[in-house]
């Protein structure tokens, strides 16, 4: 099973700052990687698929990059509504797995 490791576990930032979240896979997943945002009491929301494609309705301040084993989600300028937990997710060998999450909190 491919393991996804997200770092940091918690990112303390202020509105307007740039946030960079990392996701590392235990083996190559090509570009079969997604990012989700989850707010307390809500279901996850798809942000990015295939490593860099923004989902419908997702603001341009969210961008994804990477391939193989190293991936990054960048939020160019944090808005108040962006403080949440972010998960990466991959598909491999007909199984989907998620990373442990990065919590983006207000500094």
Partner 1 sequence: QVQLQESGPGLVKPSETLSLTCTVSGGSIGSYYWSWIRQPPGKGLEWLGYVYYTGSTNYNPSLKGRVTISIDTSKNQFSLNLISVTATDTAIYYCARSSSPYNFYYMDVWGKGATVIVSS
Residues that bind partner 1 (CB under 8 A): 1, 32, 34, 36, 42-46, 49, 55-56, 87, 89, 91, 94-101
Residue 103, strand partner residues: 10, 85
Residue pair 90/29 in contact (Cβ under 8 Å)? The answer is yes
Q: How far is the CB of 77 from partner 1 (least distance, A)?
A: 24
> Residue 17 or residue 102: which is nearer to partner 1 going by CB?
102
Q: How far is the CB of 17 from partner 1 (least distance, A)?
A: 25
> Residue 21 or residue 89: which is nearer to partner 1 going by CB?
89
Buried b (16+ CB within 10 A) or exposed e, 25-52: beeebebbbbbbbeeeeeebeebbbebb
- Separation between Cα atoms, residue 24 and residue 105, nearest integer Å: 21
> Residue 3 or residue 106: which is nearer to partner 1 going by CB?
3
Residue pair 55/46 in contact (Cβ under 8 Å)? The answer is yes
Q: How far is the CB of 44 from partner 1 (least distance, A)?
A: 6
Q: How far is the CB of 21 from partner 1 (least distance, A)?
A: 14
């Amino acid at each position: 099973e491919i393991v996804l490791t997200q770092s940091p576990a918690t990112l303390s930032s202020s509105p307007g700052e740039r946030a960079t979240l990392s996701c590392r896979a235990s083996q190559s997943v090509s570009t079969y990687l997604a990012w989700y945002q989850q707010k307390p009491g809500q279901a996850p929301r798809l942000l990015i698929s295939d490593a860099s494609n923004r989902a419908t309705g997702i603001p341009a301040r969210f961008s994804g990059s990477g391939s193989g084993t190293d991936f990054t989600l960048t939020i160019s300028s944090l808005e108040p509504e962006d403080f949440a937990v972010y998960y990466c997710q991959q598909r491999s060998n007909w199984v989907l797995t998620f990373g442990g999450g990065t919590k983006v909190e207000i500094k």
